[in-house]
Amino acid sequence: MGEYVYDAKDFKSSTEVRWCPGCGDHAIITAIQRVMAGLGKKRSDYAIISGIGCSSRFPYYMNTYGFHTIHGRASAVASGVKAANPKLHVWQITGDGDALAIGGNHFIHLVRRNLDINVVLFNNKIYGLTKGQYSPTTDRGAKTKSSPFGTVEDPFVPGQLVLGARGTFFARAIDSNVKMSQEILELADNHEGTSVVEVLQNCVIFNSGIHDVITKADDREDRQIYLKHGEKMIFGVNRDKGLVFEKGKLKAVTIGQDGYTMEDILVHDAEDPDLYMHTALINMAWPEMPVAFGVIRSVKAPVYDQAMEEQIEGIQAKRKNTCVDDLLHSGNTWEV
């Protein structure tokens, strides 16, 4: 807990929220407002940066500093904000099109540099604001307005991209579970470096129900696994299923069947620098495997904005030039 006391509504701006009724974004903004209120950090130190898309309207609805920028470039703008003033709490709100299509380059380089920025990536596998074209996370074969006969391309798995770019923090959440989102977003904020939280989000107009297969109330417990660092990888309505590692692969088993006991179930280590297990967890897909939620990876690495600040401080500590006049007279000069 920080020193400032807020209520979630302190983070609501007076601007009318204009997302569609039933849109998953409403739940995500609620989660973020609650998290920010709970963190107790000074409100005026928040800078929320977005690009273009439905999710990118987010800053207007927050009573913090906010900058709604241009399509795909939020990562670059946010990098400039954070590098200019590392004391700020910089959050980037983005979507699957904004971050992974037009902004793909900026996104991977933000992750690679590891600036201390929290990225919340709303993934609804569709373009909403332009009314229903396929995105880089749309499943192969999906019929959309721009793929009336089905797409002929495979989607990105955002977590793979993050790990491939040397990401230090990746988590997955879902809009409909506000409590889980809050827990994960708090951990993301706590991480030093770039955190990427992929929130599976439902676009009620153009892609409604896209995540239903893993989110329906009756069997979601069997189709999702909520990973927590240091805890056994257990899931299922009866908490009797778990993950084991066999022949170089993950396998979902029922405890007490086929000779599997609790001893065999893996313990989640989000802080393992090795990519192998985290990649395997990110890749798990229904129906073969449950889909992984929670913080999958959270490792320590040098943080760009801190390193930049330290480098400047180090050089200034032993500098010869203390002002521009010194600089202008440095090196070879002569008198006439």
- Give contact residues for other proteins (rule: CB under 8 A): 13, 15, 42-47, 49, 52, 59-60, 62-70, 73, 75-85, 87-88, 105-106, 109, 308, 311-312, 315-316, 319-325, 327-329, 331-336
- Both tokens of 139, joined, read 């499943």
d(CA 24, CA 100): 19
> 169 pairs with which residues across the strands?
195, 298
Report the residue number, 76 or 295, with the smaller CB distance to other proteins.
76
Report the residue number, 237 or 327, with the smaller CB distance to other proteins.
327
d(CA 106, CA 77): 9
Report the residue number, 62 or 234, with the smaller CB distance to other proteins.
62
Q: How far is the CB of 92 from other proteins (least distance, A)?
A: 10
State the first-to-last Cα distance of the chain, in angstroms, to the nearest integer.
64
Report the residue number, 26 or 43, with the smaller CB distance to other proteins.
43
Report the residue number, 60 or 245, with the smaller CB distance to other proteins.
60
Cβ neighbors of 91 (< 8 A, separation 6 or more) are 32, 46, 47, 48, 49, 117, 118, 119, 120
Q: How far is the CB of 334 from other proteins (least distance, A)?
A: 5
CB atoms under 10 Å from CB of 154, counted, come to: 11
d(CA 228, CA 8): 26
Report the residue number, 75 or 123, with the smaller CB distance to other proteins.
75
- Both tokens of 245, joined, read 């590692």
d(CA 49, CA 65): 9
Q: How far is the CB of 5 from other proteins (least distance, A)?
A: 15
8 Å CB contact between 105 and 63: no
d(CA 47, CA 45): 7
Report the residue number, 115 or 296, with the smaller CB distance to other proteins.
115
* Cα→Cα distances 59→23, 109, 281, 311, Å: 17, 23, 32, 32
8 Å CB contact between 186 and 228: no
d(CA 189, CA 41): 11
Q: How far is the CB of 97 from other proteins (least distance, A)?
A: 16
* Cα→Cα distances 299→15, 211, 293, 307, 314, Å: 38, 28, 17, 17, 26
d(CA 132, CA 148): 11
Q: How far is the CB of 318 from other proteins (least distance, A)?
A: 9
Q: How far is the CB of 332 from other proteins (least distance, A)?
A: 6
Q: How far is the CB of 306 from other proteins (least distance, A)?
A: 13
Q: How far is the CB of 214 from other proteins (least distance, A)?
A: 34
Write a three-state SS string for 153-220: CCCCCHHHHHHHCCCCEEEEEECCCHHHHHHHHHHHHHCCCCEEEEEECCCCCCCCCCCHHHHCCCCH
Report the residue number, 238 or 321, with the smaller CB distance to other proteins.
321
Report the residue number, 79 or 114, with the smaller CB distance to other proteins.
79
Q: How far is the CB of 305 from other proteins (least distance, A)?
A: 10
